[in-house]
Amino acid sequence: MTLGAPSSSASTSSSRPQALVSGPIRAHRCAGENSVAGHTLLRNRQGPCSAIRTISRDKAGWLSAQEREEIEAVRARLNQQLQLASWDTKEPVASTSQASANDCVCEDEYHPSQGWRSQPHHLTKQQLWERVREEAQRDADSEPALASNLYSTILAHPNLEKTMSFLLANKLANPTMLGMQLMRLISEAYEDDPSLIDAALADLQAVYDRDPACDDYSQAMLYFKGFQAVQCQRVAHWLWQRGRKSLALAIQSRMSEAFHVDIHPAAVIGRGVMIDHATGVVIGETAVVGDNVSMLHHVTLGGSGTGRGVRHPTIGHGVLLGAGVTVLGPVVVGAGSKVGAGSVVVSDIPCHCVAVGVPARILKRDIIKEPVQEMDQCVDYVLNYEI
């Protein structure tokens, strides 16, 4: 398979991608500007990357020829910057015999910009559930005022799915959307699509790994509204994909009221996503957020124009978006890049770069460190930046 623009055999579809999933692909760091191959952002679950689905509204008849051309242009940029690879293989797309002097050099070390992959220190689903129960029991014993809340939310339930259903339902419930109805709905979603709870586990592990303020898994699950908002959006996205758009939009509205986080149900969110503090985060309808992405409060992934095609950003794997970052239009932020706090991004950013400013400009390329591992919004650009 040739890296770069999609082949003519790749069929154009107007439906949205089913999920952002990442196969266990080894890292390949390059010497050029687009420095990483093996980053898979848009892949069909049913097969290799040739079956890519484009990002647009659901009905092809709503798109004009110009809008379809714009969608193809976005997909071409994705192929160029993120270097799509086959999802069911560990080998690089380009063979060693085809590699030129400027091609990638394989590394065995895992990098977050490759996409989500369970690490040796991560807990299994059962281990994490047992850990959460232990933490809840400890807190209930030490703080009697919390005992009732912890029992009804965690200790009274047999598994993680029931706990998440109860927790999210109570956060979203109001006088006209009853908690018991929402709890049954969320439980139905988890039973129908187990990948929802798998994504929740990845998000919970990401918060525990990256947020220095998080001491316990139960702490993130119960009290971190960024984690809770992402899980609500995953359920709303499940509804949206099944044509239940009115209910999906109702959940979006309640989520915005409850968490002050507004993520459209049609947006595609990867695994291992952490939204720290979360207040004021806005993610639009055609936005795509990759795996291992971290963003802070007041981040906006906003649209540009009134067209019905792609009008929101695509954020690659392992990207760090600092507090107050605004990314506007159908631009691509390449895998492993960092955008400094308060920046406004209106054009593409290649992989593994540092960008800052209004509008954002690239200050460093081919950065070695993975920004989401250090969560540092300051180092690498403040000392050398002039307004």
182 compared with 383, residue with greater pLDDT = 182
pLDDT at 45 over 50: no
Residue 297's domain is classified under what CATH number? Answer: 1.10.3130.10
- Give the lowest-confidence range in 5-19, 56-70, 326-340: 5-19
Average pLDDT over residues 178-187: 95
* pLDDT at res. 364: 86
Would you say residue 104 lies in a domain?
A: no
* pLDDT at res. 154: 97
Q: Which residues of 261-274 are buried (b: 16+ CB within 10 A; e: fewer)?
A: bbbbbbbbbbbbbb
What's the pTM value of the predicted model, to 2 decimals?
A: 0.74
Would you say residue 364 lies in a domain?
A: yes
Would you say residue 98 lies in a domain?
A: no
How many structural domains are present in the chain?
1
- Domain, as residue range, for 253: 111-374
Neighbours of 384 (CB within 10 A): 9
Would you say residue 164 lies in a domain?
A: yes
Would you say residue 2 lies in a domain?
A: no
Nearest C-alpha neighbor of 112 from the set 342, 294, 274, 317: 317
Neighbours of 191 (CB within 10 A): 12
* pLDDT at res. 368: 79
Alpha-carbon distance values, 158 to 4, 138, 232 (Å):
48, 18, 21
Q: What percent of the chain has pLDDT over 90?
A: 61
pLDDT band at 10 (very low <50, low <70, confident <90, very high): very low
Average pLDDT over residues 215-223: 96
223 compared with 7, residue with greater pLDDT = 223
pLDDT band at 243 (very low <50, low <70, confident <90, very high): very high
* pLDDT at res. 291: 95
pLDDT at 133 over 90: yes
Would you say residue 158 lies in a domain?
A: yes
pLDDT band at 313 (very low <50, low <70, confident <90, very high): very high
Indicate the average pLDDT of the chain. 78
* pLDDT at res. 75: 60
* pLDDT at res. 278: 94
Would you say residue 31 lies in a domain?
A: no
**What's the pLDDT tens digit per position in 322-356?**
999 999 999 999 999 999 999 999 999 999 999 99
Average pLDDT over residues 220-241: 97
Measured distance between the N- and C-terminal CA atoms of the chain, rounded to whole angstroms: 44
